[in-house]
Structure 1
Amino acid sequence: MAKFVLAGKTDCPHYAKAELLADALQRTLPNFRTHKISILPDEWKDWLEATCKRNGWKHEKSPLVWRELVDQGGKGMLLGGFSDFLEHCQGYYSVTSDMPTDMMLSVAAENLETKMNLTVEEKHRASLIKPVHIWISSALSPTCHFLIPNLLSAEVFPHVAAISLHLLDLEGGEEGLQGLKMETEDLALPLLHQVSIHTDLEQAFREADVVLLLDEWWSGDSDEDSEGEQEEKKKKKVKEISECYTEYGQLIDARANKEVKVIVCGDSFVNLRCSLLVDNACSINSNQFVTMATQVENEARAIMAKKLRVKASDITDVIVWGNISGRFYIDLQRAKVFNYDGAIKGPAFFSQSLVKIFYDRKWLETDFQDLVCCQRAAVASKTRQAAAMSAANGILTIVKAWNGTCSPDKVFSLGVLCPGYYNLPDGIILSVPVTFTDGKWSVLFDATVSDELKERLQLSASELMQEKELASENGTITKEGDS
């Protein structure tokens, strides 16, 4: 069986004549098959060049006709234009065409009108789909591979019909991103509308509704480095971060949706990076930029769960104060424990205050805090990579809460801009307890802030101010009036 492919400009009379001749043959010959490709006049030249280049053909006019050997699965064989197709039909099937010129012109005009109407309908249908645009930076990081399958779901985005995923990686190659795109498409997720890849900032954050920044700056510090060498390495890292996140902030400001939700993730300088975004995205509400402390919360819950012999999920309302990737403090004043096998027991919904059932206060203030600080490094030393699974889980937790899928009573630790909170200096991002209501977060002000905790917060704030000053020395652009 042979299949003939007829391609031509929609307003071409010879394409119309070839089309009707093919229709006549298909009606009378059981093994004759045709496939028609009509191209708008302004798109014909580019289409023809691309098709000929791909197949190694030479052809210049409309129509273009070739034959595909269906049974043999062979490469398409070029016939040529209308005259070549007519000659082939006369020689093999003893069929010719005597269509008058006025009918050829009439059919060509009809073809053009039909194609234009179909194009308008397609554009209208596409305009009805308004996908949520999600941008992920450092998309080739291990965290992203754990994140994507769970992110594009109705559980995370309950009121969304479609999602356009934009994968950005400035360090990785395009081939790796193409592979990730193919793997994402192979998931066949119902909400996935399309996937695009980006290896530069030319289109970065355009129309963004959600931005997840997974960039990382590994320390590379050695125990053998002197204090001066470590300080020089830190200055170099902060300079790189300053340049990158200053540009990120400006691009988000210029291109993203003004209600965009931006989450900064990672193990290093997360508060500083978020602060740089706020300073450079002047037209976007600073409440739209947060850093994620959920991963630290969960690490603390896992450590405490082993101590109490319960599941990590049985411990709730752990608070992380301070600099998430620097000087932070784990606060258990509101923490609850479920299913604890102690003197007092109750049903599954019964909980007890953690600080009331755990009596080793010294351990809580010393060893416990140190263990949480070292937990992620311990995981990385065993897996030889960042704690990607727990990072992805933390991101999903915050995105779901921000999309309104959590109880307004649930407490989260979030790095946010703290203008005057707890007598802290302005212009810094600090992790504090928050709750989410109707897709907006608010600081939990009924948490007890003791004098000791205030001192800890001031130390964290001082550390963050030093980082900002170092970034400023490296030429970071900031809002007028910021430090």
Structure 2
Amino acid sequence: MAKIVLAGRADCALYAKAELLADTLHRSLPNFTVHRISILPDEWKEWLEATCKRNGWKHEESPLVWRDLVDQGGKGMLVGGYSDFLEHCQDYYNITSDMPTDVMLSVAAENLETKMNLVDEEQHRLSLIKPLHVWISSALSPACHFLIPNVISAELFPHVSAISLHLLDLDRNEEELQQLRMETEDLALHLLHQVTVHTDLEQAFQEADVILLLDEGWSDGTKSEDEEEKKKKTVKAISDRYREYGQLIDTRANKEVKVIVSGDSFAHLRCSLLLDNARRIDRHQFVTTATQLENEARAVVAKKLKVKTSDVANVLVWGNINGSFYVDLQRAKVFNYDGAIKGPAFYSQPVDKILYERKWLETDFQDMVRCRRAAVASKTCRAAAMSLANGIVTVLKAWNGICGPDEVFSMAVLCTGYYDLPDGIVLSVPITFVDGKWSVLFDVTVGEELKERLHLSASELRQEKELGS
């Protein structure tokens, strides 16, 4: 079976003539099939160059004709332009064309009109779709590969009909981003409307409904023996970028945008800078996720109690998640614990009633949690990307109303007098979600020792911010 592909400018008279010749062949030869590709005049040159480059052809005019050999295990075989196609039909099938010039021009005009109508219909169809716009920065980080399949899911966004994913990476090349875009499209996820890639801030955060900021690896590429000087340059680079991020979010993002800051370095500072520069957006729309750290603490407790990590709940993380944090078990509970008292699957017991080793809880336990992520990274030679992505997804689920009313989460948010803390500092505190809105949990005991820890964290973060200014 012969399959011919005809491609040409919609207004090209020779393309119209090639179509008529192909139709004649199809009527005469039942096994002869034709596939037409009509291209708008202003898009033809770019399309032709890309097609020829992909197939290793040389051709400079409309139309472009080739035989499709995919069914035979090979790529297309170039026939050429109209004259080449006419010669091919005469030699192989003894069929020629005698289309008059006026008919040829009339068909070309009809082709262009039909193509324009199809373009208008497609644009109208797309205008009726109102996708959720999700932006991910540092999109080439390992965590993003775990994030993407979860973000474009009905489970995470149950009331959304389409999602437009925007991949931003200012430190990598566009070719890598294009590969990630193609891989994302190959997932064939039902909610995915489109994927765009960006290597600059020209369109960054346009119409954003959700922004996930994964920026890490801050370095200017220079070697420095002075760690203090190196830190100052790092904080300066972060401050410059996140001030700009905040201003762009303020002017371009939707007013109800959800912004999640994540990462192993300066997460609180980054969130604070966004809040300072995105004044139009409500402060409750910016959070720094501490869920990854919270889950790591749950894993340490679970190993101690010989249960699954998922059997431990309501662990609290206070303070600076990239510095002097404190893991608090005052509300933690454990399910399926094999102790003296047992109950059904829904029965839980307070962890602090089971773990009596107070010295271990205040020393070794805190150190084990602090070192756990570094231990994973040293063994795998990469960051703990999967747990980071899972922490972000957990927060998004809760923020979208997919959580129980009794679930407690640890998140770094802007503190406005909470627990006698100084205003304007982003610290990790316990929160709950109700109807897609978070609020700080006050039904906890905050003793003098914990207050001292929190003030130490606040002091650390103030110094970071002063360093950047």
TM over 0.5: yes
Structure 2's unaligned 5+ residue stretches are: none
SS at match of 1:404: coil
What is the distance in 1 between the residues matched to 2:69 and 2:218?
56
Flag the 1:388–1:99 CA change in 2: closer, same or farther, 3 A.
Answer: closer
Counterpart residue number, 1:478: none
Which residue is equivalent to 1:167? 167
Q: Which runs of 5+ in 1 are unaligned?
A: 473-483
Pick closer, same or farther for the CA change 1:187–1:25 going to 2, 3 Å: closer
* Contact 1:4/1:65 (<8 A) preserved: yes
Instruction: State how many pairs are aligned.
Output: 464
> Which of residues 331, 334, 341 in structure 2 aligns to 1:334?
331
For residues 338 and 67 of structure 2, the distance between their equivalents in structure 1, rounded to whole angstroms, comes to: 77
State the identity %. 75
Q: How far is the alpha carbon of 1:292 from its aligned partner?
A: 0.8
- Helix, strand or coil at the partner of 1:207: coil
Q: In the superposition, relative to structure 1, how do residues 219 and 385 fare at CA in structure 2: closer, same or farther (>3 Å)?
A: farther
3-state DSSP class of the match of 2:431? strand
Alignment of 1:318 with 2:280, yes or no, is: no
Q: Structure 1 residues 102, 270: CA separation in 2 closer, same or farther (over 3 Å shift)?
A: same
Query: Residues 35 and 451 from structure 1, CA distance in 2 versus in 1: closer, same or farther, beyond 3 angstroms?
Result: same
Deviations 1:194-231 (A, max 9, x none): 333333333332332222222224799xxxx99xx332
Letter in 1 for 2:35: H
SS of alignment partner, residue 330 of structure 2 = coil
Q: Distance in 2 between matches of 1:382 and 1:40?
A: 54
1:164-243 equivalent positions in 2, closer than 5 A: 164-217=164-217, 229-243=226-240
Establish whether residue 267 from structure 1 lines up as the match of residue 264 from structure 2: yes
* SS in structure 2 of the partner of residue 352 of structure 1: strand
Deviation at 1:471, TM superposition (A): 1.4
The within-5 A match list for 1:2-401 is 2-48=2-48, 56-60=57-61, 62-66=62-66, 73=74, 76-81=77-82, 85-86=85-86, 89=89, 93-100=93-100, 103-217=103-217, 229-401=226-398
Structure 2 equivalent of residue 477 of structure 1: none
Q: How much does 1:275 deviate?
A: 0.6
* Alpha-carbon distance between aligned partners in 2 of 1:191 and 1:318, rounded to the nearest angstrom: 34
The alignment's C-alpha RMSD in Å is 3.0
The answer (yes or no) to whether the contact 1:152–1:189 under 8 Å persists in 2 is yes
Structure 2 residue identity aligned to 1:191: L
Would the alpha carbon gap of residues 429 and 84 (structure 1) be closer, same or farther in structure 2, given more than 3 Å must change?
A: same
Q: Which amino acid aligns with 1:277?
A: L
**How far, CA to CA, are the matches of 1:413 and 1:427 in structure 2?**
18
Range that drifts further, 265-274 or 439-448: 439-448
Between 1:24-33 and 1:265-274, the stretch displaced more is: 24-33
Counterpart amino acid of 1:383?
A: T
8 A Cα contact 1:178 1:197, kept in partner: yes
Counterpart pick for 2:443 among 443, 446, 449: 446
Is contact 1:67–1:79 with CA below 8 Å preserved after alignment? no
C-alpha contact (below 8 Å) 1:57/1:78 kept by paired residues: no
How far has the Cα of 1:432 moved from its partner? Answer: 1.0
Q: Deviations over 1:244-277 (max 9, x none)?
A: 2222222222332222211111112111111111
Deviations 1:42-92 (A, max 9, x none): 4345445555666544544x54545556769465334433x6655655565
Q: Which amino acid aligns with 1:177?
A: L
Q: Distance in 2 between matches of 1:134 and 1:201?
A: 15
Query: Which segment drifts farther, 188-197 or 87-96?
Result: 87-96
Cα offset for 1:411?
A: 0.7
